[in-house]
Structure 1
Amino acid sequence: MPIDLNADVGESLGPRATGDDAAILRLVSSASVACGFHAGDASTARRTCLSAATSGVDVGAHVSYRDRAGFGRRFIDVDPGELVDEVIYQIGALQAMAAAAGTLVRYVKPHGALYNAIAHHRAQARAVAAAVRTVDPDLPILVLPGTVIEEEAREAGLRPVPEAFADRAYQPDGTLVPRSRPGAVITDPARVAARVVRLATTGTVEAVDGTTIHVPAQSVCVHGDTPGAVAVATAARAALDAAGVPVTGFR
């Protein structure tokens, strides 16, 4: 069974680099590009889209709360109507940069605190789904499986694509361990490699309490800004290749 391997990229600002996007893009099949609200800028977005297109990697809009200072990792109780407009704005901006780079935005992935909030926050989940549907109802949206946003995406006529995280710890209920807690981010390449193969071949992962949880993912994320991200992504891709798991976009 093929699996999509995605990474969050395009998070640099001018000459201040965040992660090695060029190296990451040689390893993944989908690239979630920052749209400027949590990170990135216009030139970075266009350059990243061009690199993705050159590498044959699908581009996604990595939408966020308007929170550059907090890197999009702080919950914001934004009005749902405003959130609809801000998500539309971000997708549209990246669509323009992708077009300038000779490619297209193929999917949407919420970032950070927004991603976690819409797993349970009904009003914000509905707002994000409405925004994606307004821009293009054919755009898939990456979601945490079994969550409110998955329900709202289906209700809006969208295609929710269940996603797993090779480099993040899971709680027994299938949600991610908050980054504020020790061990929330996994940086050991060998451990990430083993987890990604297990996710791709069995659809399961071990939670922090040792229990096995079912994560029916079609896409697995390795973060581009994690310490040692290139080594982690390299190990993950090599492990999938060695296990005979084809890595390909989900569209």
Structure 2
Amino acid sequence: MDDLLARFRAACDRHAGRGGPELRATALAAACRDVLAADGATISVTSGGRWHLPIGVSDGAAAAAERWQFTIGQGPGFRAWAEGALVVAGEASLRRTWPALHDQLHRRTPFRSAIAVPLRPGPGPAGVLDLHLRRPEPAASWDAERAQLVASLIGTELLGPATGPGEPAWLDAPAARRRQRVWMVISMCRQVLGLPDADALALLRARAYARDRTLEELADDVVEGRTPVRALHHSAED
């Protein structure tokens, strides 16, 4: 494992020049892609299932895969978080277990299979490392223990007590900031439509999926005034 750790640290150093501390998780995601035989990687943080923030993405295709998993509200990353265990989903498993996600990955990304690894056990903020693969199944040489070790290192760095007081820098990551628009629209639905947060999120997911758009795209429409909040509720009742 020493060789893996050395290669992971070297890959992190290569990608660390992308920007300030808010992009540290992006460098970590890119390093995961490089050393874990993946074609893309995303790092997300969640708490109690109520919010799910992408804080590090290796590239645009990986970002799209994460956005569609969040829009649908199901997938390997959600299961890994809920069960606290690594999830390996080959193409056949994706098609059988999460057909809507499988369809969007085929249509919107080059990925055909996925692996999700929890970043840390126990209470408090948790996270998931999603590895996205172009091949229909992980390579025969793929090693779960290596992925779990890297995920644990990431969890310690990003979510451990050593992160210090105050808001974590990753809240300002570009993908996280855009995701926060979804929470803005949930708040608007609560105020305008009187919906509890869980119902508002379910409504937004239904409307986004019906329009073949991600939740971020729908949230942009609402925040920028192209889609009134009340129109979301009326459309759902039609």
Please say which structure displays the higher CA radius of gyration.
Answer: 2
**By the TM > 0.5 criterion, same fold?**
no
> Greater relative contact order: 1 or 2 (C-alpha under 8 angstroms, separation 6 or more)?
1
Higher fraction of helix: 2
TM-score normalised to structure 1 length:
0.28
